[in-house]
Amino acid sequence: MKFRPLHDRVLVKRIEGEDKTKGGIIIPDTAKEKPMEGKVVAAGSGIRNEDGKITPLDVKAGDRILFGKWSGTEVKMDGDELLIMKESDILGIVEGGKNK
């Protein structure tokens, strides 16, 4: 895929949640909520500040992030459903744990 986000935007792929509860109950697709966790696929170069200098983004490709439930614009590229969002829509970077 050849896509490069501009300025302070990032391209994110959602990380799907579990299909079962801890008790073993299988959750049907219709009852699942959209995940609020994702992996940064690509990031823009940064945002221009008042002095005209570019401030780089805090996130980079490969970071696991948390974002708001209704953040971003959904797009479909190469058969994958992705989100394009501003860096300010990102709540934080998930460090450690298992990386999907």
Q: Is residue 3 part of a domain?
A: no
Say which residue, 35 or 5, is predicted with more confidence: 5
- The predicted-structure confidence for 69-99, as pLDDT tens digits, reads as follows 888 889 998 888 899 999 989 999 988 755 5
pTM higher than 0.95 for the full model?
no
Q: Is residue 42 part of a domain?
A: yes
Give the count of domains, the chain.
1
CATH number at residue 90: 2.30.33.40
CA–CA distances in Å: residue 12 to residues 7, 31, 47, 69: 15, 23, 18, 13
Q: What is the pLDDT of residue 9?
A: 92
Say which residue, 23 or 44, is predicted with more confidence: 44
Task: Residue 81: name the closest of 4, 15, 31, 32 by CA.
Answer: 15
Q: Is residue 45 part of a domain?
A: yes
Average per-residue pLDDT in the chain?
82
Q: Is residue 61 part of a domain?
A: yes
Q: Is residue 27 part of a domain?
A: yes
Q: Is residue 77 part of a domain?
A: yes
Q: What is the pLDDT of residue 33?
A: 57
Residue 60: which domain range? 9-94
Tokens of 40: 């940064």
Q: Is residue 4 part of a domain?
A: no
